[in-house]
Amino acid sequence: MAITRRQVIVGGLAAGAVASLPLVGRRARARTPCKLVMVLNYGGWDTTYSIDPKPGLPLIDVAEGTERRFGNIPIWSHPSRPNVDRFFERWAPRTTMVHGVQVRSFVHTDCIKRVLTGSPSETAPDLGAMAAFELAPDLPVPYLALGSQARSGPLASITGRAGTSNQLVALVDPEAAYAQPGGLIPDQGLIPTGQEQDLVAAFIAAGTARLRATRGQRGYNKRRIDDFAQSIERADRLARFVRDGASLGARDYTPQLEVQIPLAVQALRDGLSQAALLQSSYSWDTHSGNNQQSMFHDGLFGSLDTLCAELESADLLDQTLVVVMSEMGRTPKLNGQQGKDHWPVTSCFMLGASVPGDRVLGGTNDELGARSVDLETGELDSAGTQLQAANLAAGILSTVGVDASGYLPGTSALTLTP
């Protein structure tokens, strides 16, 4: 039986995951494929400012506010954060909240691996890369990485990084990317004729075949050579995508969510990408001055409202899962600098696609520790299990239509869609 490149990659990842993640359980069920947008808040958000209200508890310091319920979802509300309320007024009926996610570390670099990939592996691809590779590897840029923390691992060849100013545009459409002072027309670059392109393709194929025969007959080298060859084909596909009239958006400062959102929505709508990772630019790691979290939350939820509204107006929200997460939480108590330090339990929420709204899965206790859950239902269950980042990752993969068992073997998926 022939072994495909995908089987090799998935098998390699699976072997690594088996060795490092002893979470035994049932296989995750794949569902109807859908798109994936992850919004990462890197640095560690303080969930008590919005999505995990903890009023009147001696062991948890919280900002001023009141608990407000939006259907079944309690939110910590304050006039200084109007966008939080506004978001849930509109989107709570579609939102699933997930609390008590164990990230098993106090270190940013370890936590980010776990929440984005479900694995402690240095080389595992993140959820966006997995989803894009499995569901739409033939798109021009299957996985659009608009945030710096995206982890493509061995799936780098299907990942496009827009750079800090959406330099992808400049690569394929110089006229759109640069101003034209004095009527100068930017160099369009070399556009080969069909015959010339055939000559070029034959040359590249010959060089690739020679390298494959000498240094890349199997294993890592073979996969990297295959990746390179496919990248060349994908670059042509991307150029054709633009020549056919589609756009990669404008040159702008992509670290800002306001810039990332239209790029991502357009990429999903126009068939450029299957998955995207967005990342807010706030300095969430508030070891001092934790009250900055208030402003960050307000800004974030304003942007999220825009994201969901744009996806909905593009008729994409029903076929796109939006996941909002941070790699860790913050300590219950303030430190001496009025900041909060790292905490190995966090929350996330999601909406869109087939995920039910108006519900809360999991929970945290009066010390901001994770409460045990029944992974089949997400309901609190003292006889259940601690919700690990791997369980959540497997649940997300399954929800977007990827068989998570290939990437996270033996991991029980949190059931997000009944």
Partner 1 sequence: MSRRWVLRRVAADERNEVAVREQLVDVHLRFFGEEHTAMDPEITEAWTLWSGALEESDDPRRAWSITLYALMQDVRMATY
CB of 9 to partner 1, least distance (A): 18
Asked if residue 232 binds partner 1 (CB under 8 A), the reply is: yes
Residue 206 makes contact with partner 1 by CB under 8 A: yes
Instruction: Report the residue from 4, 180, 188, 195 that binds partner 1 according to the rule CB under 8 A.
Output: 195
The yes or no reply on residue 289 touching partner 1 (CB under 8 A) is: no
By CB under 8 A, residue 196 contacts partner 1? yes
Segment contacting partner 1 by CB under 8 A, of 67-75, 107-115, 145-153, 208-216: 208-216
Looking at the DSSP bridge assignments, the partners of residue 321 are 36, 352
- CB count in 10 Å sphere of residue 189: 10
| Least Å from the CB of residue 203 to partner 1 | 4
**Helices H / strands E in the chain, number of each:** 11, 12
- Of the candidate residues 98, 129, 146, 229, the single one contacting partner 1 (CB under 8 A): 229
- Out of 31, 223, 224, 237, the residue judged to bind partner 1 by CB under 8 A: 224
- Pick the binder of partner 1 from 11, 55, 82, 192 (CB under 8 A): 192
Of 18, 109, 203, 333, the residue at the interface with partner 1 (CB under 8 A) is: 203
Residue 170 found at the interface with partner 1 (CB under 8 A): no
User: Which tokens sit at 70?
Assistant: 């939006």
- 98 forms beta bridges with 348, 361
**220 lines the binding site for partner 1 (CB under 8 A):** no
Please state whether 225 falls in left (phi above 0), alpha (psi between -120 and 50) or beta. Answer: alpha
**Which of 59, 107, 199, 295 touches partner 1 by CB under 8 A?**
199
Report residue 89 as tokens: 């007024």
Q: Which of 211, 246, 309, 314 binds partner 1 (CB under 8 A)?
A: 211
Spacing of C-alpha 34 from chain mean position: 14
Q: Is 102 helix (H, G, I), strand (E, B) or coil?
A: strand
DSSP state of 278: E
The least CB distance from residue 194 to partner 1, in Å, is: 10
**Residue type for position 339:** G
Give 197 or 313: the residue with its C-beta nearer to partner 1.
Answer: 197
Distance CA 310, CA 352 (A): 12
Please state whether beta strands 95-102 and 345-352 pair in parallel, antiparallel, or not at all (unpaired).
antiparallel
**Binding of partner 1 at residue 171 (CB under 8 A)?**
no
Q: Is 190 in the site for partner 1 (CB under 8 A)?
A: yes
Provide the residue type at 417 as one letter.
T
Distance CA 209, CA 390 (A): 39
Q: Which two tokens stand for residue 129?
A: 């890369």
Report, in Å, the least distance between residue 291 CB and partner 1.
48
The reply to whether 57 sits near partner 1 by the rule CB under 8 A is no
DSSP 227: H
Is 56 exposed, middle or buried, given 0-12, 13-18 or 19+ CB atoms closer than 10 A?
Answer: exposed
Chosen residue from 170, 225, 239, 246 binding partner 1 by CB under 8 A = 225
Please choose, out of 118-126, 189-197, 268-276, 350-358, the segment that lies near partner 1 by the rule CB under 8 A.
189-197
Query: Residue 198 or residue 367: which is nearer to partner 1 going by CB?
Result: 198
Instruction: Provide the H-helix boundaries in 244-339.
Output: 257-269, 292-313
Binding site for partner 1 (CB under 8 A): 190, 192-193, 195-196, 199-200, 202-204, 206-208, 210-211, 215, 224-225, 228-229, 232
